[in-house]
Chain A
Amino acid sequence: MDDKVTRTRAGAIRFDKAGIVYPNGVVGMKNLDLEIRPGEFVVIVGSSGAGKSTLLRAINGLNALTSGSIEVDGEPMPKGEGRGLRELRKRVGMIFQDFRLVKRMSVMSNVLIGRLGHVPGWRSLLNLWPVRDREIAIKALERVGIADKAWTKASDLSGGQQQRVGIARALAQEPAIILADEPVASLDPVTTHQVMKDLVRINRELGITTLVNLHFLDLAREYGDRIIGLRFGELVYDGSAETVTDQDFEDIYGREVNEDDVLDEDAVQG
């Protein structure tokens, strides 16, 4: 059991000269060297097409490297869809811009999907979830504050609530790492801040390594500990969120930063 706890607490990621060239010739990642320590809260910024999603999806093997290597907690990325990759994905929760919930199912059923990797196949086939896994799902819902919605149909929730279900599903995996791919891009400003705060709080409380793709620079500054800037698949910035300047952002984007790049327009510094 101790072993499991330490594994849950870990969540180190290491890219070594990693590269991804898509079949159509587009370069998604170029010669990336990057080390992320367990428990870090990293925000990834860059204009669209800069390779933010590619980077996240490489960590759970949704995108395969075409050169170099990735290690998660010292273990190399398993090759091909199989048991090895499933074991890795069990420990990596993912949150999506479009939530990706089963709309016609209850919130509880959706969160239990996070337990798929932990229960035998016959149990998921028959929807017979062990009490322990149900409790984990309920705890995950409590952590994002929507346990009262457990039996509501996912489609009946607001956008912000649906994204919380998405977070709870990731938490139910008891992951070492959470990857959030533009988690607030479909939300309104108020909900955006609530969801970002949830992510930060969970990172602090549980020590889960968290990587968040964002395109709003003020959000990156406000919530990130460490900011990573990507441009054409290359790492062009890596530093603390406290010291990042507008000039740095302009270097990352390769253009002037304007009010379209922030959620709250007042945050643009004259």
Chain B
Amino acid sequence: MSRANPSSLPAKPARNWSLWIGVIGFLLAMTIWSAHGIGFSLADLVCNIARGSRLLEESWPPDFGFIPRLYEPFMETIFIAIIGTVVGGLLAIPVAILAARNLTLGPLIWFADRNFMNILRTLPDLFWAMLFASAVGFGPVAGALALSVFTIAVISKLWSESLEAIDMGLPEAIRAAGGTWREMIQFGAMPQGLPHYVSYALYAFELNVRASMVLGLVGAGGIGMILKTQQANFEYERVTMIILAVLIAVLIIEEISEAIRRRLT
């Protein structure tokens, strides 16, 4: 076997072992420190694992007879997710465009929009759910509003970043032809940005289906509310049924949106 002529290649740079050891050591130290901080103990876990298995035994088999009563809250969850995705998805369009450095209308607008986005993203969806619940009362409307905000946060962050990476040749050509800012966006940026937008909107919908169940726990309607009641009544076989139904629904939705996204690219 012939080997590369040693003289044709410059000497291979030495691997930086000390960096690797440093990084791994740092991660290890952080993990141990954190485990200590939350009082995690392997011995406790092993001794108490039996208690966990008792809960699992009580939860099996799932109560299939409960399915008919799941239908209505289940559809409510889906409706909440759809409204949240559509409303939030539409509002995210201007938010994302103005937050993209290459498309925004000016440094001040960019800065304001960027900070607005950060605030939306920093506050958790549970906070929005409780805020809207106190405004419009507990129920699915509060959930849909909370998810709209959550959707703006998700889509605008992801999309503004992919908009910043588009080729600016076409937008410039629109400008050069006498187009306005809006026409530059519509004819120059959107043809490149739209596939990403659809992809992120589908992703947001998946997140919203999951989130709308969590929001139900704080009274924002949907299947989460049923889950909470059944758990409070120690009806663990029904809880299992709910979780199973949710799992299947999420898997189906992911499959569908994955199939659509594949077709986009």
Contacts and interface: CB of A to CB of B under 8 A. Distances in A.
* A, B in one complex: yes
B177 A173 contact: yes
Interface stretch (A84-92, A131-139, A245-253): A84-92
B179 interface: yes
Given A62-B175, A104-B191, A116-B187, A121 B180 contact: yes
B101 to A, nearest CB: 16
Interface stretch (A31-39, A94-102, A156-164, A214-222): A94-102
The interface size bin for chain B is 10 to 19
Nearest to B179: A116
A114 interface: yes
B172 A116 contact: no
Interface of A: 60, 62, 81, 86-87, 89-90, 92-94, 96, 98, 100-105, 113-114, 116-117, 121, 124-125, 169-170, 173
B36 interface: no
B182 interface: yes
B186 A169 contact: no
Interface string B168-193: 01101111111111110011000100
A93 B183 contact: no
B170 A114 contact: no
A124 B191 contact: no
B174 A96 contact: no
Given A98-B169, A104-B191, A113 B176 contact: no
18 contacts: A60-B176, A62-B172, A62-B175, A81-B181, A86-B180, A89-B176, A90-B178, A96-B169, A100-B173, A105-B191, A113-B187, A116-B174, A116-B178, A116-B187, A121-B180, A125-B186, A169-B177, A173-B178
A173 B178 CA distance: 9
Contact of B173 (A94, A105, A125): A94
Contacts of B175: 62, 81, 89
A86 B186 CA distance: 17
B169 A125 contact: no
Contacts of B191: 102-105
A117 B178 contact: yes
B172 A100 contact: yes
Nearest to B168: A100
A113 B182 contact: no
A144 to B, nearest CB: 16
B186 A113 contact: no
A100 B169 contact: yes
